[in-house]
Amino acid sequence: MTLCVALLGGSFDPVHNGHVALATLFATLLEPDQLRILPAGSPWQKNGLQASDADRIAMLRLAFAGEAADIAQAVTLDLQEIERGTPTYTIDTLRSVRAELGPQASIVFLMGSDQLQQLDSWREWRQLFELAHIGVAARPGFSMADAALPAAVAEELTMRRGSLAQLRNTPSGRAYLAETLDVDISATQIRAALQRGEKANSLISPVVLDYIQQHNLYEI
């Protein structure tokens, strides 16, 4: 049976319920052998991170130990992007994971539809499919319809649409669009709420919120 590893990357500044919901969705759909969470070190498309690496790692451990306790697969933190110490590019991370797991393993890189809409701005984005499958979860306000995507991305997806079984049992090259997730949360939204003195209870895990308050994160 093919080893299947799902990867969820992001700044996680902070990790929120949308991240956990996306991970849980694909853990249910794909039943991967392992789910890896990849906090970014220096994401090239975003301005400076507000929380430290240590705080983001601590919040991830809390979120995925609590909210995602029903995920049957092993959830691990992969810290290679933080340890790399240089601008973070997904293509480099996927090359590293592929070299680690070998040519036959199924690697599925997970993202939201907001990221899909700008996929053509990623470094060597077409080569991502040589190293992994891509699993995309719907997000309100970010359509996955061809008309809403850059033409080159829409064309690539048309050629690469695959079933969950194909993603689970082949190494790379397919895309799967999951329309069933309906969670509209952003880290920017959460940071703004916290700076206004709001608790953001519906957006973030209580244990993560406690951590943020105890460590005085995201204050003005």
pTM of the predicted model as reported, rounded to 2 decimal places:
0.90
pLDDT reported for residue 45: 56
What gap in Å lies between CA 12 and CA 23, rounded to an integer? 13
pLDDT in tens, 49-59: 889 999 999 99
What gap in Å lies between CA 35 and CA 121, rounded to an integer? 26
DSSP 196: T
Residue 70 has pLDDT above 80, yes or no: no
Angle at 212 between CA 14 and CA 59, to 5 degrees: 50
CATH superfamily, domain at 4-186: HUPs (3.40.50.620)
What gap in Å lies between CA 172 and CA 60, rounded to an integer? 27
Pairing verdict, β 87-88 and 106-112: unpaired
**Among the ranges given (70-74, 87-91, 124-128), the one the predictor scored with the smallest mean pLDDT:** 70-74
Q: Which of 75-89, 94-108, 129-143 has the highest mean pLDDT?
A: 94-108
pLDDT reported for residue 158: 94
DSSP string, 20-56: HHHHHHHHHHH--SEEEEEE-SEETTS---SS-HHHH
pLDDT in tens, 3-41: 999 999 999 999 988 898 899 999 999 999 999 999 998
DSSP 142: B
Give the H or E element holding residue 82: helix 80-84
What gap in Å lies between CA 162 and CA 29, rounded to an integer? 13
pLDDT in tens, 111-169: 998 899 999 999 999 999 999 999 999 887 778 888 889 999 999 999 999 999 999 99
pLDDT in tens, 173-213: 999 999 876 666 677 778 877 777 676 767 888 899 999 98
Are the CB atoms for 85 and 41 separated by under 8 Å? Answer: yes
pLDDT band at 47 (very low <50, low <70, confident <90, very high): low
Boundaries of every domain in the chain: 4-186
- Beta partners for 178? 137
- Give first-to-last CA distance, the chain, whole Å: 51
What gap in Å lies between CA 72 and CA 4, rounded to an integer? 14
Give the H or E element holding residue 137: strand 133-137
Which single residue is written with the structure tokens 């703004």?
A: 192
